[in-house]
Structure 1
């Protein structure tokens, strides 16, 4: 059984970032439901579990900050508990580091637009275009948002474009949307509930 995220993506620990993206795309194609050959080897449930593992591996290794934490744990200890290398464990560690760091976490400044503020306040039908519009209005770059909420910018772009083929399972997408919305000063749950309804239509 493959024991770490590098093995899941069939990579060495010194792989370049672009190699990680390539390996992720290859693995996702190989184990997706669009590949009928996969069901001659794995059951439907096993294939879904493999895809989930692939998504988690890329979520960590595809983000330089999270990968650094993962590498320190994986390579820095001769004996490491499996639970210290899980997706949730790495994500929680990154949040603690971010909270304790001296990185400037001030919100980006922007010129208030009353007409747009009213549109935002009245919005009840959320989609990727609206999230992108608000992000750009508030001068939050993809890189800044990615670094703050610890979600790969590749996923943020896909959420804004509403392209399901470039995103992990819906449960992950919903979590990402909640984080994005909160960082943009919105009601995370309300935005995610509405967004996921539109997302399911695009899926």
Structure 2
């Protein structure tokens, strides 16, 4: 089975804050909680990412998480890191005082939504099956008679984030490492191939990111 990189080589790596999914103003406790959750998700035997990544990629990700954690829980190292980020224009000073936390949700339980029969009045499948962009996913969800609120309750992903996925609103979506997990959970709820959905959607996401960088 083909495996995929968590971070494309031609795109900038996420900051320590983005990697752990916390805001620059996060408390030490919030950082510890986010780190613990991510380390459990990206274990080699984790069902959430089973067969998606090679052992080497998982080891590299684990090291990146360790480095981010060690920097952010050390007051002096965190201050130096913040200063470096500010000088590079990747962090605004006011962000250090804005409260907020964007942690990855706990993995939802497996679920199968049972909707009614799909009729022509309710729509038809898009012509290009396998092109998992937001509109395709939205139409698939409607055809299966699944509400965003239902997916949100099961996966713990906010309705707003799910809406942004369906709208291809890349600017408002979380860090790539979280987005992959969100897409996998979303696909499972619709009984779609989670690997195919995540990797196809991220292909378009990466194209957008490259254009934004002028590459």
The TM-score with structure 2 as length reference comes to 0.48
For these two proteins, the number of residue pairs brought into alignment is: 126
What is the Cα deviation at residue 106 of structure 1? 6.2
For the Cα contact (< 8 Å) 1:162–1:202, is it kept in 2? no
In 2, distance between residues paired with 1:127 and 1:147? 23
Alignment of 1:1-150 (within 5 A): 2-5=27-30, 42-44=83-85, 57-59=101-103, 91=106, 95=108, 107-113=113-119, 116=124, 119=126, 123-150=129-156
Runs in 1 of length 4+ with deviation above 3 angstroms? 44-48, 113-117
CA shift digits 1:69-105 (9 cap, x unpaired):
xxxxxxxxxxxxxxxxxx57xx26xx5xx68xxxxx6
Answering whether residue 188 of structure 2 is matched by residue 158 of structure 1, we say: no
**Does the Cα contact within 8 Å between 1:163 and 1:202 map onto a contact in 2?**
no
Picking from 182, 204, 209, the partner of 1:176 is: 182
Q: So what's the TM-score if we normalise by structure 1?
A: 0.50
5+ residue gaps, structure 2, are: 1-25, 32-79, 210-215
Report the counterpart of residue 192 of structure 1 in structure 2.
Answer: 198
Change (3 A) 1:169 1:40: closer
Where relative contact order (Cα < 8 A, 6+ residues apart) is larger, the structure is 2
Q: CA deviation at 1:4?
A: 3.7
Q: Gapped runs of 5+ residues in structure 1? A: 7-38, 60-86, 100-104
Q: Choose between structure 1 and 2: higher helix proportion.
A: 1
Deviation at 1:198, TM superposition (A): 1.1
